[in-house]
Protein backbone atom coordinates (compact mmCIF):
# COMPACT_ATOMS: atom_id res chain seq x y z
CA UNK A 1 0.00 0.00 0.00
CA UNK A 2 1.34 3.42 -0.99
CA UNK A 3 1.59 6.24 1.56
CA UNK A 4 0.64 9.83 0.79
CA UNK A 5 3.79 11.99 0.48
CA UNK A 6 2.05 14.83 2.35
CA UNK A 7 0.52 13.11 5.40
CA UNK A 8 2.40 9.78 5.20
CA UNK A 9 -0.84 7.85 5.60
CA UNK A 10 -1.83 4.97 3.31
CA UNK A 11 -3.99 5.75 0.31
CA UNK A 12 -6.25 3.62 -1.85
CA UNK A 13 -5.66 2.66 -5.45
CA UNK A 14 -7.67 4.69 -7.94
CA UNK A 15 -8.12 4.19 -11.66
CA UNK A 16 -6.84 6.60 -14.26
CA UNK A 17 -10.39 7.19 -15.54
CA UNK A 18 -11.25 8.85 -12.22
CA UNK A 19 -8.46 11.39 -12.61
CA UNK A 20 -9.40 11.99 -16.24
CA UNK A 21 -13.02 12.62 -15.22
CA UNK A 22 -12.51 14.87 -12.22
CA UNK A 23 -9.30 16.85 -12.69
CA UNK A 24 -9.45 20.31 -14.23
CA UNK A 25 -8.84 20.35 -17.96
CA UNK A 26 -5.52 22.17 -17.58
CA UNK A 27 -4.14 19.38 -15.35
CA UNK A 28 -5.13 16.40 -17.50
CA UNK A 29 -1.84 16.46 -19.40
CA UNK A 30 0.07 16.01 -16.11
CA UNK A 31 -1.44 12.63 -15.25
CA UNK A 32 1.22 10.48 -16.88
CA UNK A 33 1.25 6.68 -17.00
CA UNK A 34 2.10 5.81 -13.38
CA UNK A 35 -0.48 4.18 -11.04
CA UNK A 36 -2.27 6.58 -8.67
CA UNK A 37 -3.73 6.44 -5.16
CA UNK A 38 -6.29 8.64 -3.46
CA UNK A 39 -5.54 10.12 -0.03
CA UNK A 40 -8.53 9.76 2.31
CA UNK A 41 -7.11 11.82 5.19
CA UNK A 42 -9.65 14.65 5.68
CA UNK A 43 -7.16 17.32 6.77
CA UNK A 44 -4.62 16.57 3.97
CA UNK A 45 -4.71 18.84 0.93
CA UNK A 46 -3.37 16.11 -1.36
CA UNK A 47 -6.04 14.16 -3.22
CA UNK A 48 -4.16 11.97 -5.70
CA UNK A 49 -0.53 10.86 -5.56
CA UNK A 50 1.35 8.59 -7.89
CA UNK A 51 4.13 6.05 -7.65
CA UNK A 52 7.63 6.49 -9.01
CA UNK A 53 8.11 9.91 -10.61
CA UNK A 54 4.40 10.68 -10.86
CA UNK A 55 3.29 13.94 -9.26
CA UNK A 56 0.50 14.82 -6.89
CA UNK A 57 -2.82 16.59 -7.31
CA UNK A 58 -4.42 18.70 -4.57
CA UNK A 59 -8.02 19.76 -3.90
CA UNK A 60 -7.75 22.87 -6.08
CA UNK A 61 -6.84 20.67 -9.06
CA UNK A 62 -10.27 19.00 -8.99
CA UNK A 63 -13.28 20.19 -10.95
CA UNK A 64 -15.59 19.08 -8.09
CA UNK A 65 -15.49 19.51 -4.32
CA UNK A 66 -14.18 16.47 -2.43
CA UNK A 67 -16.70 16.41 0.41
CA UNK A 68 -14.64 14.26 2.76
CA UNK A 69 -11.84 16.84 2.64
CA UNK A 70 -14.05 19.94 2.84
CA UNK A 71 -15.16 21.91 5.92
CA UNK A 72 -17.63 24.33 4.36
CA UNK A 73 -21.18 23.20 3.44
CA UNK A 74 -22.56 21.75 1.38
CA UNK A 75 -20.09 18.87 1.32
CA UNK A 76 -20.97 16.40 -1.47
CA UNK A 77 -20.87 12.75 -0.48
CA UNK A 78 -22.85 10.74 -3.06
CA UNK A 79 -21.78 12.22 -6.39
CA UNK A 80 -23.98 10.03 -8.58
CA UNK A 81 -27.26 11.00 -6.90
CA UNK A 82 -26.35 14.34 -5.29
CA UNK A 83 -26.50 13.65 -1.54
CA UNK A 84 -24.49 15.87 0.80
CA UNK A 85 -23.25 15.31 4.35
CA UNK A 86 -25.32 18.26 5.60
CA UNK A 87 -28.50 16.97 3.94
CA UNK A 88 -28.07 13.55 5.58
CA UNK A 89 -27.52 15.07 9.03
CA UNK A 90 -30.42 17.48 8.55
CA UNK A 91 -32.84 14.64 7.73
CA UNK A 92 -31.82 12.76 10.87
CA UNK A 93 -32.18 15.88 12.99
CA UNK A 94 -35.65 16.67 11.57
CA UNK A 95 -37.16 13.19 11.32
CA UNK A 96 -35.08 11.00 13.61
CA UNK A 97 -34.29 8.62 10.77
CA UNK A 98 -32.34 8.42 7.51
CA UNK A 99 -33.65 7.28 4.15
CA UNK A 100 -30.50 8.04 2.18
CA UNK A 101 -29.22 4.45 2.06
CA UNK A 102 -32.53 3.07 0.78
CA UNK A 103 -32.73 5.94 -1.71
CA UNK A 104 -29.27 5.25 -3.10
CA UNK A 105 -29.98 1.51 -3.28
CA UNK A 106 -33.12 2.19 -5.33
CA UNK A 107 -31.33 4.67 -7.62
CA UNK A 108 -28.48 2.23 -8.26
CA UNK A 109 -30.88 -0.07 -10.09
CA UNK A 110 -30.97 2.53 -12.86
CA UNK A 111 -28.15 3.73 -15.12
CA UNK A 112 -27.01 6.62 -12.92
CA UNK A 113 -24.43 4.81 -10.76
CA UNK A 114 -21.08 5.83 -12.22
CA UNK A 115 -18.82 6.11 -9.18
CA UNK A 116 -15.54 5.77 -11.04
CA UNK A 117 -16.39 8.85 -13.09
CA UNK A 118 -18.03 11.04 -10.44
CA UNK A 119 -16.63 10.17 -7.01
CA UNK A 120 -13.12 11.51 -6.23
CA UNK A 121 -12.56 8.35 -4.16
CA UNK A 122 -12.70 6.40 -7.41
CA UNK A 123 -15.20 3.85 -6.11
CA UNK A 124 -18.51 3.32 -4.38
CA UNK A 125 -19.49 5.85 -1.70
CA UNK A 126 -21.89 3.63 0.29
CA UNK A 127 -19.40 2.79 3.03
CA UNK A 128 -18.78 6.52 3.50
CA UNK A 129 -22.53 7.20 3.46
CA UNK A 130 -23.04 4.56 6.18
CA UNK A 131 -20.35 6.24 8.30
CA UNK A 132 -21.95 9.67 7.84
CA UNK A 133 -25.38 8.24 8.77
CA UNK A 134 -23.90 6.75 11.95
CA UNK A 135 -22.24 10.05 12.69
CA UNK A 136 -25.55 11.84 12.20
CA UNK A 137 -27.30 9.64 14.76
CA UNK A 138 -24.49 10.19 17.25
CA UNK A 139 -24.83 13.95 16.81
CA UNK A 140 -28.58 13.54 17.37
CA UNK A 141 -27.88 11.83 20.69
CA UNK A 142 -28.40 8.15 19.89
CA UNK A 143 -26.62 5.26 18.23
CA UNK A 144 -27.71 4.02 14.82
CA UNK A 145 -28.75 0.39 14.49
CA UNK A 146 -27.16 -1.07 11.39
CA UNK A 147 -28.92 -4.43 11.23
CA UNK A 148 -30.76 -3.63 8.02
CA UNK A 149 -27.69 -2.11 6.42
CA UNK A 150 -25.15 -4.44 8.01
CA UNK A 151 -21.54 -4.26 6.90
CA UNK A 152 -20.23 -7.34 5.15
CA UNK A 153 -23.21 -8.56 3.11
CA UNK A 154 -22.63 -6.60 -0.09
CA UNK A 155 -19.62 -7.27 -2.29
CA UNK A 156 -20.62 -5.27 -5.36
CA UNK A 157 -22.19 -1.98 -4.34
CA UNK A 158 -23.35 -1.12 -7.82
CA UNK A 159 -24.88 -4.45 -8.76
CA UNK A 160 -28.59 -4.33 -9.39
CA UNK A 161 -31.20 -6.72 -8.04
CA UNK A 162 -32.66 -7.95 -4.79
CA UNK A 163 -29.28 -8.89 -3.34
CA UNK A 164 -28.57 -5.27 -2.36
CA UNK A 165 -29.14 -5.67 1.33
CA UNK A 166 -25.90 -4.39 2.82
CA UNK A 167 -22.56 -2.78 2.21
CA UNK A 168 -19.12 -4.35 2.10
CA UNK A 169 -16.28 -3.33 4.32
CA UNK A 170 -14.05 -3.85 1.31
CA UNK A 171 -15.50 -1.91 -1.61
CA UNK A 172 -14.57 -2.96 -5.12
CA UNK A 173 -12.57 -0.33 -7.01
CA UNK A 174 -14.41 -1.19 -10.21
CA UNK A 175 -17.88 -1.34 -8.68
CA UNK A 176 -19.47 0.58 -11.52
CA UNK A 177 -17.44 -0.89 -14.35
CA UNK A 178 -20.39 -2.93 -15.65
CA UNK A 179 -22.92 -0.10 -15.69
CA UNK A 180 -24.46 0.59 -19.12
CA UNK A 181 -24.21 3.55 -21.46
CA UNK A 182 -20.64 4.50 -20.55
CA UNK A 183 -20.18 5.99 -24.03
CA UNK A 184 -22.46 8.80 -22.94
CA UNK A 185 -20.19 9.82 -20.06
CA UNK A 186 -18.08 12.93 -20.32
CA UNK A 187 -14.77 11.10 -20.49
CA UNK A 188 -15.78 8.58 -23.15
CA UNK A 189 -17.66 11.28 -25.06
CA UNK A 190 -14.51 13.36 -25.17
CA UNK A 191 -12.42 10.35 -26.15
CA UNK A 192 -14.84 9.33 -28.91
CA UNK A 193 -14.92 12.89 -30.26
CA UNK A 194 -11.13 13.23 -30.21
CA UNK A 195 -10.61 9.79 -31.78
CA UNK A 196 -13.10 10.55 -34.55
CA UNK A 197 -11.53 13.98 -35.16
CA UNK A 198 -8.00 12.54 -35.26
CA UNK A 199 -9.05 9.70 -37.54
CA UNK A 200 -10.72 12.07 -40.00
CA UNK A 201 -7.63 14.29 -40.17
CA UNK A 202 -5.37 11.27 -40.75
CA UNK A 203 -7.62 10.01 -43.56
CA UNK A 204 -7.69 13.48 -45.14
CA UNK A 205 -3.89 13.72 -44.97
CA UNK A 206 -3.61 10.39 -46.77
CA UNK A 207 -6.19 11.48 -49.34
CA UNK A 208 -3.86 14.28 -50.47
CA UNK A 209 -0.63 12.28 -50.16
CA UNK A 210 -0.63 11.85 -53.94
CA UNK A 211 0.29 15.53 -54.11
CA UNK A 212 2.31 16.43 -51.03
CA UNK A 213 4.27 13.22 -50.48
CA UNK A 214 6.17 13.37 -53.80
CA UNK A 215 7.13 16.97 -52.95
CA UNK A 216 8.50 15.88 -49.57
CA UNK A 217 10.39 12.92 -51.01
CA UNK A 218 11.94 14.99 -53.77
CA UNK A 219 12.96 17.66 -51.25
CA UNK A 220 14.93 14.98 -49.35
CA UNK A 221 16.41 13.55 -52.53
CA UNK A 222 14.36 10.33 -52.41
CA UNK A 223 12.78 8.82 -55.49
CA UNK A 224 9.00 9.31 -55.63
CA UNK A 225 8.45 6.68 -58.30
CA UNK A 226 4.94 5.25 -58.11
CA UNK A 227 3.98 7.17 -54.97
CA UNK A 228 1.52 9.58 -56.58
CA UNK A 229 -0.24 6.85 -58.56
CA UNK A 230 -0.61 4.60 -55.51
CA UNK A 231 -2.25 7.22 -53.31
CA UNK A 232 -4.32 8.59 -56.19
CA UNK A 233 -5.91 5.14 -56.62
CA UNK A 234 -7.02 5.09 -52.97
CA UNK A 235 -7.91 8.77 -52.70
CA UNK A 236 -11.73 8.23 -52.91
CA UNK A 237 -11.57 5.73 -50.06
CA UNK A 238 -9.55 8.05 -47.87
CA UNK A 239 -11.99 10.91 -48.50
CA UNK A 240 -14.96 8.67 -47.70
CA UNK A 241 -13.26 7.54 -44.50
CA UNK A 242 -12.57 11.13 -43.45
CA UNK A 243 -16.18 12.14 -43.99
CA UNK A 244 -17.44 9.08 -42.11
CA UNK A 245 -15.19 9.79 -39.12
CA UNK A 246 -16.37 13.41 -39.03
CA UNK A 247 -19.96 12.19 -39.09
CA UNK A 248 -19.29 9.87 -36.16
CA UNK A 249 -17.63 12.71 -34.29
CA UNK A 250 -20.54 15.12 -34.79
CA UNK A 251 -23.07 12.47 -33.81
CA UNK A 252 -21.14 11.56 -30.67
CA UNK A 253 -20.57 15.14 -29.52
CA UNK A 254 -23.83 16.81 -30.59
CA UNK A 255 -26.54 14.17 -30.82
CA UNK A 256 -25.75 11.24 -28.55
CA UNK A 257 -27.97 11.15 -25.49
CA UNK A 258 -26.36 12.60 -22.35
CA UNK A 259 -26.41 10.22 -19.38
CA UNK A 260 -25.17 12.75 -16.82
CA UNK A 261 -28.19 14.19 -15.04
CA UNK A 262 -28.55 18.01 -14.99
CA UNK A 263 -27.07 19.67 -11.88
CA UNK A 264 -25.43 16.39 -10.80
CA UNK A 265 -21.82 16.16 -9.70
CA UNK A 266 -20.68 15.12 -13.16
CA UNK A 267 -22.58 17.81 -15.07
CA UNK A 268 -19.93 20.54 -14.83
CA UNK A 269 -16.99 18.32 -15.93
CA UNK A 270 -19.10 16.97 -18.77
CA UNK A 271 -19.85 20.47 -20.02
CA UNK A 272 -16.16 21.32 -20.14
CA UNK A 273 -15.28 18.05 -21.85
CA UNK A 274 -18.08 18.52 -24.37
CA UNK A 275 -16.80 22.03 -25.16
CA UNK A 276 -13.28 20.65 -25.61
CA UNK A 277 -14.59 17.93 -27.94
CA UNK A 278 -16.48 20.46 -30.03
CA UNK A 279 -13.40 22.65 -30.43
CA UNK A 280 -11.37 19.63 -31.48
CA UNK A 281 -14.09 18.51 -33.89
CA UNK A 282 -14.42 21.86 -35.67
CA UNK A 283 -10.64 22.21 -35.84
CA UNK A 284 -10.47 18.77 -37.42
CA UNK A 285 -13.19 19.77 -39.91
CA UNK A 286 -11.08 22.72 -41.06
CA UNK A 287 -7.99 20.54 -41.40
CA UNK A 288 -9.93 17.88 -43.31
CA UNK A 289 -11.14 20.49 -45.79
CA UNK A 290 -7.62 21.87 -46.20
CA UNK A 291 -6.13 18.46 -46.95
CA UNK A 292 -8.96 17.07 -49.08
CA UNK A 293 -8.87 20.12 -51.38
CA UNK A 294 -5.07 20.39 -51.28
CA UNK A 295 -4.69 19.09 -54.86
CA UNK A 296 -6.97 21.89 -56.07
CA UNK A 297 -4.89 24.78 -54.77
CA UNK A 298 -1.38 23.39 -54.37
CA UNK A 299 -0.43 24.68 -57.82
CA UNK A 300 -1.08 28.26 -56.72
CA UNK A 301 1.20 27.79 -53.71
CA UNK A 302 4.22 26.58 -55.65
CA UNK A 303 3.68 28.14 -59.09
CA UNK A 304 6.46 30.48 -60.15
CA UNK A 305 5.82 33.25 -62.66
CA UNK A 306 7.49 32.80 -66.05
CA UNK A 307 9.55 35.78 -67.10
CA UNK A 308 9.62 36.97 -70.71
CA UNK A 309 13.41 36.68 -70.74
CA UNK A 310 13.19 32.98 -69.92
CA UNK A 311 11.24 32.36 -73.15
CA UNK A 312 13.19 34.79 -75.32
CA UNK A 313 15.04 33.24 -78.31
CA UNK A 314 18.57 32.23 -77.44
CA UNK A 315 20.90 30.43 -79.85
CA UNK A 316 22.78 28.97 -76.89
CA UNK A 317 19.72 27.06 -75.72
CA UNK A 318 17.65 24.19 -77.10
CA UNK A 319 13.91 24.10 -76.32
CA UNK A 320 12.21 20.71 -76.03
CA UNK A 321 8.62 19.81 -75.20
CA UNK A 322 7.65 16.55 -73.44
CA UNK A 323 4.35 14.81 -72.79
CA UNK A 324 4.15 13.67 -69.14
CA UNK A 325 1.96 10.81 -67.93
CA UNK A 326 1.23 9.89 -64.30
CA UNK A 327 0.75 13.32 -62.69
CA UNK A 328 -2.31 13.56 -60.45
CA UNK A 329 -2.36 17.25 -59.46
CA UNK A 330 -0.50 20.56 -59.64
CA UNK A 331 1.61 19.37 -56.73
CA UNK A 332 3.08 16.67 -58.95
CA UNK A 333 3.89 19.30 -61.56
CA UNK A 334 5.60 21.49 -58.97
CA UNK A 335 7.67 18.60 -57.65
CA UNK A 336 8.68 17.48 -61.13
CA UNK A 337 9.62 21.06 -62.06
CA UNK A 338 11.96 21.24 -59.06
CA UNK A 339 13.54 17.88 -59.91
CA UNK A 340 14.20 18.75 -63.57
CA UNK A 341 15.61 22.15 -62.66
CA UNK A 342 18.45 20.40 -60.80
CA UNK A 343 19.73 18.69 -63.97
CA UNK A 344 23.04 20.00 -65.33
CA UNK A 345 22.83 22.44 -68.27
CA UNK A 346 19.07 22.97 -67.74
CA UNK A 347 18.31 26.70 -67.84
CA UNK A 348 14.51 26.74 -67.71
CA UNK A 349 11.71 24.26 -66.85
CA UNK A 350 7.95 24.67 -66.92
CA UNK A 351 5.62 21.74 -66.14
CA UNK A 352 1.88 22.17 -66.71
CA UNK A 353 -0.49 19.66 -65.11
CA UNK A 354 -3.71 20.41 -67.10
CA UNK A 355 -1.94 19.90 -70.47
CA UNK A 356 0.45 17.25 -69.08
CA UNK A 357 3.40 18.89 -70.78
CA UNK A 358 6.88 19.96 -69.78
CA UNK A 359 8.91 22.62 -71.61
CA UNK A 360 12.65 22.47 -70.94
CA UNK A 361 15.41 24.75 -72.23
CA UNK A 362 18.96 23.44 -71.95
CA UNK A 363 22.42 24.06 -73.30
CA UNK A 364 22.52 23.43 -77.06
CA UNK A 365 26.01 21.92 -76.95
CA UNK A 366 24.76 19.03 -74.77
CA UNK A 367 22.12 17.01 -76.69
CA UNK A 368 22.27 14.23 -74.08
CA UNK A 369 20.21 16.42 -71.72
CA UNK A 370 17.03 15.26 -73.47
CA UNK A 371 17.72 11.65 -72.45
CA UNK A 372 18.56 12.80 -68.92
CA UNK A 373 15.21 14.57 -68.73
CA UNK A 374 13.31 11.40 -69.69
CA UNK A 375 15.24 9.39 -67.08
CA UNK A 376 14.65 12.04 -64.40
CA UNK A 377 10.91 12.04 -65.09
CA UNK A 378 10.87 8.26 -64.81
CA UNK A 379 12.84 8.38 -61.53
CA UNK A 380 10.14 10.61 -60.07
CA UNK A 381 7.37 8.17 -60.85
CA UNK A 382 6.10 9.48 -64.19
CA UNK A 383 6.74 8.81 -67.87
CA UNK A 384 7.88 11.25 -70.54
CA UNK A 385 7.91 11.30 -74.33
CA UNK A 386 9.34 14.09 -76.48
CA UNK A 387 6.65 15.68 -78.64
CA UNK A 388 8.63 18.58 -80.08
CA UNK A 389 12.04 17.77 -81.52
CA UNK A 390 14.54 20.56 -80.91
Please tell me the predicted confidence (pLDDT) of residue 159: 41
Nearest residue to 116 (alpha-carbon basis) of 68, 69, 59, 186:
186
Task: Kindly write down the DSSP assignment for every residue of 219-256, as one continuous string.
Answer: HTT---TTHHHHHHHHHHHHHHHHHHHHHHHHIIIIIS
Question: How far is the C-alpha of 273 from the C-alpha of 276, rounded, in Å?
Answer: 5
Question: In Å, how far are 21, 165, 174, 239 from 266, measured between CA atoms?
Answer: 8, 27, 18, 37
Please tell me the predicted confidence (pLDDT) of residue 271: 66
Please tell me the predicted confidence (pLDDT) of residue 157: 47
Instruction: Look over the chain and give the mean of its residue pLDDT values, rounded to a whole number.
Output: 78
Please tell me the predicted confidence (pLDDT) of residue 192: 74
Interior CA angle at 181 toward 176 and 185, to 5°? 80
Longest Cα–Cα distance in the chain: 113
Please tell me the predicted confidence (pLDDT) of residue 300: 65
Question: How far is the C-alpha of 385 from the C-alpha of 374, rounded, in Å?
Answer: 7
Task: Kindly write down the DSSP assignment for every residue of 95-106, as one continuous string.
Answer: HSS--HHHHHHH
Q: Which of 3.40.220.10, 3.20.20.105, 2.20.25.270, 2.60.40.1730 would CATH assign to domain 1-63?
A: 2.20.25.270
Q: Domain spanning 302-388 has what CATH number?
A: 3.30.70.100
- The domain spans of the chain are 1-63, 75-179, 182-292, 302-388
**List of the chain residues with pLDDT < 70:** 1, 53, 111-112, 142-190, 215, 218, 221, 223-226, 256-272, 298-315, 388-390
Please tell me the predicted confidence (pLDDT) of residue 92: 92
Question: In Å, how far are 21, 109, 280, 289, 307 from 205, measured between CA atoms?
Answer: 31, 46, 17, 10, 34
Question: How far is the C-alpha of 110 from the C-alpha of 98, rounded, in Å?
Answer: 21
Amino acid sequence: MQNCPSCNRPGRKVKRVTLESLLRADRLADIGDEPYHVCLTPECETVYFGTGNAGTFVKSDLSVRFGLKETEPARPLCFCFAHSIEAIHDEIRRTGESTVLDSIKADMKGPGCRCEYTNPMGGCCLKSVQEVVDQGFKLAGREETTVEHGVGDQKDCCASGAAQTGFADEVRDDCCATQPATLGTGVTRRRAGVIAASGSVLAAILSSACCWLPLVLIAFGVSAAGVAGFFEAYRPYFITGAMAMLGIGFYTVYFRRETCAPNSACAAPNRRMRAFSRIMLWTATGLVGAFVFFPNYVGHLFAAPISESALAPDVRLTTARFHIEGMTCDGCASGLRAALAKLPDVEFVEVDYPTKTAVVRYAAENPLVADQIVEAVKANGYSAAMVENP
